[in-house]
Amino acid sequence: MVLDNKTKKILKVFCLVFLVAILTGCAQNLDANGKLIASRAITSSTPWSFDAGWFDFIFVIPLAKGILFINDYVGNVAFGVIGVTIIVNIITLPIMIKSTVSTQKMQLLQPEMEKIQRKYKGRKDQASQMRQNAEIQNLYKKNNVSMFGSFATFLTLPIMFAMWQAVQRIDILYSTYIFGINLGAKPISHIMDLDIAYIVLLVLVAGTQFFAMQITQIMAKRSPKYRPSQQMKSMNTMNNVMTIFIVYLAATMPAAMSLYWITTNVINIIRTVYIQLFHIEKAKKEVESTTTNFLNKK
């Protein structure tokens, strides 16, 4: 199935509504003095019940309890945050592999898709549009491309919000330190005092985030056929904006969230290299083979 502009707009609206639903469903966790409200705290004895709300039940409570479970064994919430982040990424790895490969295949097929679109350029009648969609769909089907594969990356959004809620609601986190950093403190207030530990923390967030978003292009440059496109230049701009945005969030959220982003970024770098070497290279060969056969039949 080919996504037309109307369908894309509907999906964008759906994603926006979903995010708004998450944000509005998140009750306030801190009082006016920045202290955790007792009724919002999550401990090992907190009931895992749907009465807490669907978002808490599916995402927040499991993450918080996972962090506390690891903390009971190693004695530091920081390792709980890192451990849970690793576990979540392992669980979602198959989905992310399929999503990444599908997205890469769609990019590889873009020249053939544009040829089909040029073939039907200016033909707005329903029959022509249906034939165009059928040809594009057939092209994707032959290359085993899922049109909704790329939307799997939206899984990272609710997980990010859930982790933010989880670390805010773990009481012992506010009295836990690692390398001189209070995990419950907002780095921005300490950076104003030129506290080197918090400055280094945000530098690590910025560095790993930037590298994680550039690693795909770095791997792509390995190919002798690599040619920078206008789309890649636009992606670079978007990546820079996203890096700044993540650093801002890291500065204004509890420091434990910085551990989450650093761990996630390192995992993303390793995962991208793995997918590129063991999945994308194979996908490129499949696309080249099926595209050649597809064009020969034309």
- State pLDDT tens for residues 134-145: 887 787 777 777
The span from the CA of 80 to the CA of 102, in Å, is 33
Between 36 and 233, the higher pLDDT residue = 36
- The answer to whether residues 220 and 280 touch, using CB atoms and an 8 Å cutoff, is no
- The predicted structure's pLDDT at residue 118: 81
Domain range for 48 is 37-290
Give percent above pLDDT 90 in the chain. 25
b/e code 5-21 from CB counts within 10 Å (16+ = b)? eeeeeeeeeeeeeeeee
Coil, helix or strand for 22?
helix
State yes or no: pLDDT of 198 exceeds 60. yes
C-alpha pair distances (Å), 192 with each of 147, 200, 253, 279: 46, 13, 15, 45
DSSP structure class, residue 26? S
- The answer to whether residues 205 and 105 touch, using CB atoms and an 8 Å cutoff, is no
The span from the CA of 67 to the CA of 77, in Å, is 7
- The predicted structure's pLDDT at residue 7: 45
State yes or no: pLDDT of 162 exceeds 80. yes
Judge whether 17 lies within some domain: no
- The token pair at 3 is 């996504």
Judge whether 139 lies within some domain: yes
- The predicted structure's pLDDT at residue 25: 47
Q: Work out how many domains the chain is built from and give that number.
A: 1
The span from the CA of 105 to the CA of 128, in Å, is 25
- Lowest pLDDT segment from 24-38, 52-66, 68-82, 215-229: 215-229
- The token pair at 156 is 């990272």
Judge whether 14 lies within some domain: no
Whole-model pTM above 0.95? Answer: no
- The predicted structure's pLDDT at residue 124: 74
Between 221 and 127, the higher pLDDT residue = 127
Q: For residue 44, count CB atoms less than 10 angstroms from its CB and return exposed for 0-12, middle for 13-18, buried for 19 or more.
A: exposed
Judge whether 30 lies within some domain: no
Judge whether 233 lies within some domain: yes
Whose structure tokens read 């451990």? 83
User: What mean pLDDT value characterizes the chain?
Assistant: 78
State yes or no: pLDDT of 266 exceeds 70. yes
* Alpha helical stretches, state H, 75-176: 77-108, 110-119, 126-142, 156-168
- State pLDDT tens for residues 2-13: 444 444 444 544
Judge whether 191 lies within some domain: yes
- The predicted structure's pLDDT at residue 5: 43
- State pLDDT tens for residues 60-69: 999 999 999 9
Judge whether 6 lies within some domain: no
Judge whether 24 lies within some domain: no
